[in-house]
Structure 1
């Protein structure tokens, strides 16, 4: 699977809607997988109806820019929206959801093991290594090797627009040693930061093949007509929703092959 930047939108149901979902290239070959990265939304239920006809419960979090990750079961009570920034599950009939407005939404799938994850990676969570932590959990708890995981990094603010202080950029560079993700200005105490590149590097560093990691969607700051951006709009910014789930209870879901 080649690395690419923009993906085809999900096919809406017969009742047309202006909401568009972006999907990871090739993931439609994973049987029974539901996934998508939305554009700016106002009503989650309306948005979900354009992604899937299934009416599974959507599990979300009170995201706090950390690296705590919760395991979701069918009987999990998430109505109180616990504080965390990641969800992992191998259950069918539940949807994992992450809300973002510049931070990186990360979806992971280990199809042969029936495991999925949804992560919220702002600069603080990225500094703490939330992607690496999720992959470590998959390996330690379920013996899932990173080589068997696919990763999609959704719409997020890009280095063209993400200006941060030197202390933030250098802390991330020092921790993760990415060559071009931090671009300090020649003069001054700021620079441009590429959050998706750092999260990609975290995944590669623990063994996810580069060919199984892709960036999906544009810069949220640039694409003002379709995406919410906290950096651009402030506290009044809306949110995008990123979702992943399974339709069936099949334990192993090997990728299907296209017919000749």
Structure 2
């Protein structure tokens, strides 16, 4: 989903789907309802209390927004459930094994990706009957390398084997390729079909919210877009 449409106003105007923003909760709920209905009318949307962790949960029965577990990945084999990830520069990653009827969704900031949330999601999907050789994944809108400047301290948290995801920038700084890094982790754990949609949240203000853009402008708040995947029968539906 982009930020277009929706009922939120002010700094987070549009389709803000994150309860963490300083937004009217009724507006957020309405935006989430509209987003879910656009993908799978009648499905039950479930979300997570995202904390930049490697933790993954399995959804057997939907929970309410007030009861969201702390985690950054979840999987299900239950039809009629929509998995929803909110982001504002971090990478939303959606997974599906169509043959097994198993799906997953991940909030992959650099820390979660670095600590293994992607691999744990693939493992959790396998526990439901998926095969990693059949899993396909898509990395949704996120901050791109040209927009993601980091310092030496950030760079030192990564192994030398990850050097290709860092391009030299101004003195003491680097440009980090988050979508490239995420795709490399997916490939390394056996997900052979994965791609990034190529949309930079930082530069495309008309379409996406961006934490870093809001921070650079000194804005008090920022919205979150929603990425969704659900099972309609055994056929995954995404947006």
User: Would you say same fold, with TM above 0.5?
Assistant: yes
Cα-Cα RMSD:
2.5
TM-score, scaled relative to structure 1 = 0.74
Distance 1:193 1:165, change over 3 A: same
CA distance in 1, matches of 2:159, 2:168: 11
Matching residue of 2:38: 50
Please, which runs of 5 or more residues in structure 2 have no aligned partner? 7-13, 17-30
Contact 1:126/1:195 (8 A) holds in 2 = no
Residue 173 of structure 1 contacts residue 181 of structure 1 at CA under 8 Å; is this kept in 2?
A: no
Contact in 2 for aligned 1:19/1:50 (Cα 8 Å) = no
SS in 2 for 1:138: helix
Equivalent position of 1:41 in the other structure: 15
Q: Is the deviation greater in 222-231 or in 128-137?
A: 128-137
| 1:114 Cα deviation from its structure 2 partner | 0.8
**Deviations along 1:11-31, whole A, 9 cap, x unmatched?**
xxxxxxx549xxxxxxxxxxx
Structure 1 runs of 4+ off > 4 angstroms? Answer: 75-78
C-alpha displacement of 1:77: 5.7
Name the SS for the 2:184 alignment partner. Answer: helix
8 Å contact from structure 1 (residues 173, 182) kept in 2: no
1:127 aligns with 2:110: no
Q: CA deviation at 1:107?
A: 0.2
**Post-superposition shift, 1:173?**
4.2
SS for the counterpart of 1:97 is: strand
Other structure's SS at 2:147 match: coil
Equivalent in the alignment of 1:226: 207
Give the TM-score of the pair, scaled to structure 2: 0.80
Question: Whole-Å Cα distance in 1 between the matches of residues 230 and 65 of structure 2?
Answer: 16
Q: 1 CA distance for matches of 2:146 and 2:163?
A: 16
CA deviation string 1:214-256 (max 9, x = no partner):
11241000101110000001351111100111112x4xx69xx
Structure 1's unaligned 5+ residue stretches are 1-8, 11-17, 21-39, 255-260
Residue 229 of structure 2 is matched in structure 1 by 244
